[in-house]
Copies of this chain bind each other. A is one copy, B any other.
Amino acid sequence: MSSALKIAIAGLGTVGVGTVKVLQSHADVLAKRCGCPVEIVAVSARSEKDRGVDLSSYEWFSDAAQMAQGSNADVFVELIGGSEGVAKDAVMAALQSGKHVVTANKALIAHHGFELAQLAESKGLSLNYEAAVAGGIPIIKTIREGMAANSISRVYGILNGTCNYILTTMRESGRAFNDVLSDAQKLGYAEADPSFDIDGIDAAHKLAILASVSFGSKVDFSSVHIEGISRVSDIDIQFATELGYKIKLLGIASRSNGTIEQRVHPCMVSVKSPIATVEGVFNAVVCDGDAVDTIMQEGRGAGEGPTASAVVADIVDIARGISVPTFALPVGELENLPTSPMADRVGAYYVRLMLVDKPGVFADVANILRDYQVSIESLLQRVRDPGEAVPAVITTHDTAEANMANALNKIAKLENVTEAPCMIRIEDF
């Protein structure tokens, strides 16, 4: 058996402690699987409080960047988080001092993945980030290695467990968004400041990474179109059910004609679609490849165990000598693919209007839709309340997003439309 692979872990929150636990409890079998022992030699965190694991035999660093440079580790594991500051500095320092890097930091990879990959490649080092996307699901390995024979045309999925939990619970309980969110916070499924999750930023970080590794493009987070779930109302969830849909926050990326599409927003998907069956905190990713057709993977997207599983799998790869280009291709081969604007999307739409219930109101709406070539597929109006505002729901046939947006702008200005129209895209998965 070869000499030990030495590990330094920066960040001892939930995932850091989970990683320590897995490496400690599975040390024997990991050594057999890797052909060498995997030993923690150093850890780093801001404070030395008791974390329920024995850290006494590891060198302690209060400064992660110092550990990245100073420790004798072979692998630097970054579990601090954040796209800038300590995490970035420490990862750069680790690579510069010849250490492989394993990270769970989606923000870092989404913002700086390309330059970090350049640095790693120039030093002949691995930069592994399985835990950054969809937690325990080995989707990066699946795309970089398992689907290596394919030209990938599309990747999409449920990439944020907090949002999926909230939307699932809203549907099952009939409760409103804020109510369910505050429960999710009590249960630990949502952060005290939930904006990264519910505004779609977290899902967008993951989507930008998936797009790069799937399409061979430079990771380009700034071009992702992002809408969160805070405007999804319980009324829309009820209408979705009535129409045979579920509302899911999806990240969707596709490649065609030299451009890529990258978007995160609430979607209506048929209840019969495989992605619609993924509920609660679970994540799922679907990939379409030209040889393999469609692969779907489902599992837990967060939490101590699942995230540690991905972190340790990345460490095992390094111990086994497995090295793959960071984004599946050498950095020099990654393309600058422009992201197509949302206005170019063509698809169906769900639109809910609040209309004053009086004769002729709907004719104004229908005329505007006709003027913008928006063809109505179905119309639902359940409640009658003469003189008051009641919901009217329209679903459309395939329409260009620009036309839909223009029509909605004009509809919003109608005298008898009492609040901003709610528009949710319907995806045909």
Which partner residue on chain B sits nearest A304 by CB separation? B291
Residues A146-205 near B (CB distance < 8 A): 146-151
Q: Are A305 and B320 in contact (CB under 8 A)?
A: no
- Distance in angstroms between the alpha carbons of A150 and B33 in the assembled complex: 11
Residue in B142, B216, B316, B324 whose CB lies within 8 Å of A148 = B316
9-residue interface stretch from A52-60, A250-258, A295-303, A401-409: A295-303
Q: A95 at the A/B interface (Cβ < 8 Å)?
A: no
Residue in B137, B138, B147, B216 whose CB lies within 8 Å of A145 = B138
Residue in B22, B33, B145, B148 whose CB lies within 8 Å of A291 = B22
Q: Are A293 and B306 in contact (CB under 8 A)?
A: yes
Which residue of A26, A141, A150, A151 has the most chain B CB atoms within 10 A of its CB atom?
Answer: A150
Q: A360 at the A/B interface (Cβ < 8 Å)?
A: no
9-residue interface stretch from A76-84, A325-333, A390-398: A325-333
Q: Are B30 and A293 in contact (CB under 8 A)?
A: no
Known: A145-B316, A145-B317. 16 other contacts (CB 8 A): A22-B291, A29-B151, A32-B329, A32-B333, A33-B329, A138-B145, A138-B146, A138-B147, A141-B141, A149-B312, A292-B305, A292-B306, A292-B309, A292-B310, A293-B305, A322-B322
23 CB-based A-B contacts, threshold 8 Å: A22-B291, A29-B151, A29-B216, A33-B328, A136-B291, A138-B145, A145-B145, A145-B322, A146-B310, A149-B311, A291-B308, A291-B309, A291-B312, A292-B300, A292-B306, A293-B303, A293-B305, A294-B299, A295-B299, A296-B297, A320-B324, A322-B322, A322-B324
Residues in chain A within 8 A of chain B (CB atoms):
18, 22, 26, 29-30, 32-33, 35, 130, 136-138, 141-142, 145-151, 216, 274, 277, 289-300, 303, 305-306, 308-313, 316-317, 320-325, 328-330, 333
